Structure 1
Amino acid sequence: MARRRQLYEGKAKILYEGPEPGTLVQYFKDDATAFNAQKKGTIPGKGVLNNRISEFLMLRLAEVGIPTHFIRRLTMREQLIREVEIVPIEVVVRNIAAGSMSTRLGIAEGTRLPRSIIEYYYKNDALNDPMVAEEHITAFGWASPQDMDDIVHLTLRINDFLTGLFLGVGITLVDFKVEFGRLWENEDMRIVLADEISPDNCRLWDTKTNEKMDKDRFRRDLGRVEEAYQEVAKRLGILPEAGMRDMKGPELMQ
């Protein structure tokens, strides 16, 4: 296993320096957190499945013209990505009321919304990722008005595409969270989709039964968490080459 220098470790992933300038290696862990890391646990094989699911969805989105940071998958738990300057905003798209929206607004979970709603959250763990308005984002310089125009345009396209893709395999896309980054190429900059798209940051319900197929099974102690992630991968036609066998991560550079 190649020795790489660790640059960052988050709740579900580790970033290492890449083999070429302008690249990073993104490693998917089995660690699971909820409620801003107040609840912690492990979902065996989650990293393998999320790597494959995110790869699949990023490639499908690229085919319809959505620019992403994804380059290629390296191993069962690693993928090569472009280094981007992350916009410190989590963009949440809600198609059906669930989770915090139901709690905040008193809307019964499962209520289909009149239209898709976009919410913004400032990426700051110490502040519990507070909800913010576009005015906050542009006033404090987290993103420019042009950045936000690009982000909203891309987000709506991503929602349209993923809603149809999941519906085709019997899954309802209830809501999801995405992040974006600035990709610099010489003097040019463009906004691209970053992070991941997986059952960790999507609410996915079985279209017929409304059974939850995402991290809510971990959040709410519903059980069968691994099976839910596997079912999503199965429906998308994704099968890890070596099953759920774990793999050692890259070693840290001393």
Structure 2
Amino acid sequence: MARRKKIYEGKAKILYEGPEPGTFVQYFKDDATAYNAEKKDVIDGKGVLNNRLSEFFMKGLNHIGVPTHFIKRLNMREQLIRAVEIIPLEVIVRNYAAGSMSKRMGIEEGTQLPRPIIEFSYKDDSLGDPLVPEEYIIAFGWASQQDLDDIVALALRVNDFLSGMMLGVGIKLVDFKIEIGRVWDGDFQRLIVADEISPDSCRLWDIETGQKLDKDVFRRDLGSLADAYTEVARRLGVLPSNVTHAVKPHVIN
């Protein structure tokens, strides 16, 4: 069997050349990182869970007309995705104060914000992914004003979808981040949701207890990350309802 060509390797995923032009295979690793990779570990089964959860969210978005790069899941750890030109920004949507926002603004974690707040950070680990204003984004040519308007509209639609889905299973969507990619249909450009949507990229708290069900479990040494992600998958129906712990999870096809 021929070795696949690696296109890119990040902290949590690897991109390989896809079987058709304009496609990639996205592989989910078990690596867990925090604080710009200053804290690292390998969590057995994490990649399997994130692959399946990201598939679940991306398919749901596609179904309601929010375009994503997702084509199909190939196996337990891999997805076939559309190749996109990634805009070098993380798009952060906040519904409640938490994490860096609480530290910057002196707002108690868990405080509900008056409306969803969207922030942009420049994707550069060596700089610590700094927050950037729209003025920088336009001046440096990362995106146009029309792009930003479209990105905000996409982000708010993703927020509505995820918030409602999580509320239905007793989870509060505190915040999340997404990446946006450009695709071209002839001379026409479209913006679509790319990368992943998983507990790695969201803050998820149990509505009743406040228990954290996201990567803060790893960041703050609050217990088993595998257990937290398994609980999210179980509530959403991605895992059988009787599963409470899955070090090597068995997911529903």
User: Do the structures match in fold with TM over 0.5?
Assistant: yes
Shift of 1:186: 2.2
Higher RCO by CA contacts (8 Å cutoff, separation 6 or greater): 1
1:215 pairs with 2:215: yes
Shift of 1:211: 0.3
Name the stretch that deviates more: 120-129 or 2-11: 2-11
SS at match of 2:118: strand
Aligned equivalents of 1:145, 1:214: Cα separation in 2 = 33
Shift of 1:149: 1.0
Q: Residue 204 of structure 1 contacts residue 212 of structure 1 at CA under 8 Å; is this kept in 2?
A: yes
Q: Residue 233 of structure 2 contacts residue 239 of structure 2 at CA under 8 Å; is this kept in 1?
A: yes
- Give the TM-score normalised by structure 1: 0.94
Amino acid at match of 1:24: F
Amino acid at match of 2:169: V
Q: Residue 30 of structure 1 contacts residue 42 of structure 1 at CA under 8 Å; is this kept in 2?
A: yes
- Residue 91 of structure 2 corresponds to 91
Shift of 1:2: 6.1
Aligned equivalents of 1:142, 1:40: Cα separation in 2 = 30
- Give the TM-score normalised by structure 2: 0.94
Aligned equivalents of 1:149, 1:3: Cα separation in 2 = 41
Aligned equivalents of 1:113, 1:41: Cα separation in 2 = 33
Name the stretch that deviates more: 178-187 or 201-210: 178-187
The verdict on how the C-alpha distance between 1:16 and 1:201 changes in structure 2, with shifts beyond 3 A counting, is same
Structure 1: which 5+ runs fail to align?
Answer: 247-254
Root mean square deviation, CA, Å: 1.5
SS at match of 1:117: strand
- Residue 12 of structure 1 corresponds to 12
Cα deviation, 1:167-215, whole Å, max 9, x if unaligned, reads 0011100000000000112222100000000000100000111100000
SS at match of 1:21: coil
SS at match of 1:191: strand
* Aligned residue runs from structure 1 range 48-67, under 5 A: 48-67=48-67
Q: Residue 92 of structure 2 contacts residue 178 of structure 2 at CA under 8 Å; is this kept in 1?
A: yes
Q: Residue 24 of structure 2 contacts residue 83 of structure 2 at CA under 8 Å; is this kept in 1?
A: yes
Aligned equivalents of 2:102, 2:164: Cα separation in 1 = 24
Aligned equivalents of 2:165, 2:96: Cα separation in 1 = 17
Aligned equivalents of 1:234, 1:202: Cα separation in 2 = 17
SS at match of 2:68: coil
Q: Residue 87 of structure 2 contacts residue 180 of structure 2 at CA under 8 Å; is this kept in 1?
A: yes
Q: Residue 44 of structure 2 contacts residue 248 of structure 2 at CA under 8 Å; is this kept in 1?
A: no
Aligned equivalents of 1:145, 1:119: Cα separation in 2 = 15
Amino acid at match of 1:142: W
* Aligned residue runs from structure 1 range 131-142, under 5 A: 131-142=131-142
Shift of 1:224: 1.6
The count of residues paired between Structure 1 and Structure 2 equals 245
